[in-house]
Amino acid sequence: MKNRKPTLLQKLINFTTAYIKYAFSGFKEVDVDTYMKRLDICLNCDHLATLNECAVCGCPVFDKAKMETEKCPLNKWGEIPVTESNMEPEETIEPKNKW
Protein backbone atom coordinates (compact mmCIF):
# COMPACT_ATOMS: atom_id res chain seq x y z
CA MET A 1 0.00 0.00 0.00
CA LYS A 2 1.45 3.36 -1.06
CA ASN A 3 1.67 6.25 1.35
CA ARG A 4 -0.92 8.85 0.47
CA LYS A 5 -0.53 12.56 0.97
CA PRO A 6 -2.57 13.98 3.83
CA THR A 7 -5.91 15.53 3.00
CA LEU A 8 -6.49 19.23 3.49
CA LEU A 9 -8.34 18.48 6.74
CA GLN A 10 -5.48 16.29 8.00
CA LYS A 11 -2.96 19.01 7.13
CA LEU A 12 -5.03 21.50 9.09
CA ILE A 13 -5.23 19.17 12.10
CA ASN A 14 -1.50 18.35 11.99
CA PHE A 15 -0.30 21.94 11.75
CA THR A 16 -2.83 23.23 14.27
CA THR A 17 -1.65 20.57 16.74
CA ALA A 18 1.98 21.51 16.09
CA TYR A 19 1.22 25.20 16.52
CA ILE A 20 -0.66 24.66 19.78
CA LYS A 21 2.32 22.76 21.23
CA TYR A 22 4.58 25.55 19.99
CA ALA A 23 2.37 28.18 21.63
CA PHE A 24 2.24 26.30 24.94
CA SER A 25 6.06 26.13 24.90
CA GLY A 26 6.10 29.93 24.86
CA PHE A 27 6.92 29.96 21.12
CA LYS A 28 10.35 28.47 21.74
CA GLU A 29 12.44 28.06 18.62
CA VAL A 30 15.52 26.01 17.86
CA ASP A 31 18.83 27.79 17.37
CA VAL A 32 19.82 28.93 13.87
CA ASP A 33 22.23 26.01 13.32
CA THR A 34 19.56 23.43 14.17
CA TYR A 35 17.01 25.25 12.02
CA MET A 36 19.35 25.25 9.02
CA LYS A 37 20.14 21.55 9.49
CA ARG A 38 16.44 20.70 9.69
CA LEU A 39 15.68 22.77 6.58
CA ASP A 40 18.51 21.14 4.67
CA ILE A 41 17.10 17.72 5.52
CA CYS A 42 13.58 18.75 4.49
CA LEU A 43 14.55 20.53 1.29
CA ASN A 44 16.51 17.48 0.14
CA CYS A 45 13.90 14.93 1.23
CA ASP A 46 12.03 12.77 -1.29
CA HIS A 47 8.83 13.63 0.60
CA LEU A 48 9.02 17.38 0.00
CA ALA A 49 5.86 18.41 -1.84
CA THR A 50 5.06 21.55 -3.75
CA LEU A 51 4.87 24.81 -1.84
CA ASN A 52 7.59 23.49 0.49
CA GLU A 53 5.31 21.34 2.57
CA CYS A 54 5.97 17.88 3.89
CA ALA A 55 4.11 15.22 1.91
CA VAL A 56 3.93 13.02 5.03
CA CYS A 57 2.33 15.41 7.55
CA GLY A 58 1.43 18.32 5.27
CA CYS A 59 3.09 20.97 7.42
CA PRO A 60 5.02 23.87 5.88
CA VAL A 61 8.66 22.94 6.44
CA PHE A 62 9.93 26.51 6.89
CA ASP A 63 7.57 26.95 9.84
CA LYS A 64 7.73 23.52 11.42
CA ALA A 65 11.54 23.33 11.31
CA LYS A 66 11.88 26.31 13.66
CA MET A 67 9.58 24.91 16.35
CA GLU A 68 11.49 23.43 19.24
CA THR A 69 8.54 21.20 20.12
CA GLU A 70 8.34 19.51 16.72
CA LYS A 71 10.05 16.57 15.05
CA CYS A 72 10.14 15.13 11.56
CA PRO A 73 7.32 12.60 11.05
CA LEU A 74 9.94 10.24 9.55
CA ASN A 75 12.40 10.97 12.38
CA LYS A 76 14.96 12.35 9.93
CA TRP A 77 15.87 15.22 12.24
CA GLY A 78 17.01 12.81 14.93
CA GLU A 79 16.64 13.63 18.59
CA ILE A 80 16.10 17.20 19.66
CA PRO A 81 19.13 18.16 21.74
CA VAL A 82 18.30 18.89 25.34
CA THR A 83 18.72 22.55 26.18
CA GLU A 84 17.81 24.55 29.25
CA SER A 85 14.69 25.76 27.50
CA ASN A 86 13.24 22.31 26.79
CA MET A 87 14.44 20.42 29.87
CA GLU A 88 11.86 19.05 32.22
CA PRO A 89 12.06 20.93 35.48
CA GLU A 90 13.55 18.94 38.28
CA GLU A 91 11.16 18.04 41.03
CA THR A 92 11.89 20.01 44.12
CA ILE A 93 10.76 19.06 47.56
CA GLU A 94 10.08 21.97 49.81
CA PRO A 95 11.09 21.48 53.43
CA LYS A 96 8.17 21.36 55.81
CA ASN A 97 7.87 24.20 58.22
CA LYS A 98 8.82 23.03 61.70
CA TRP A 99 6.62 25.60 63.40
Tell me whether residue 50 is in a domain.
yes
Tell me whether residue 94 is in a domain.
no
In whole angstroms, give the CA distance from residue 63 to residue 14.
13
Burial of 37 (0-12, 13-18, 19+ CB in 10 A): middle
Tell me whether residue 30 is in a domain.
yes
Domain that holds residue 25: 8-64
Tell me whether residue 92 is in a domain.
no
Tell me whether residue 32 is in a domain.
yes
Selected residue with higher pLDDT from 88 and 65: 65
The residue type of 31 is: D
Please give the tally of structural domains in the chain.
Answer: 1
Tell me whether residue 19 is in a domain.
yes
pLDDT tens track for 7-65:
999 999 999 999 999 999 999 999 999 999 999 999 999 999 988 999 999 999 999 99
Tell me whether residue 82 is in a domain.
no
pTM summary value: 0.72
In whole angstroms, give the CA distance from residue 79 to residue 72.
10
Q: Helix count (H) and strand count (E) of the chain?
A: 3, 0
Q: What are the φ and ψ backbone dihedral angles of 29, each rounded to 5 degrees?
A: -115, 155
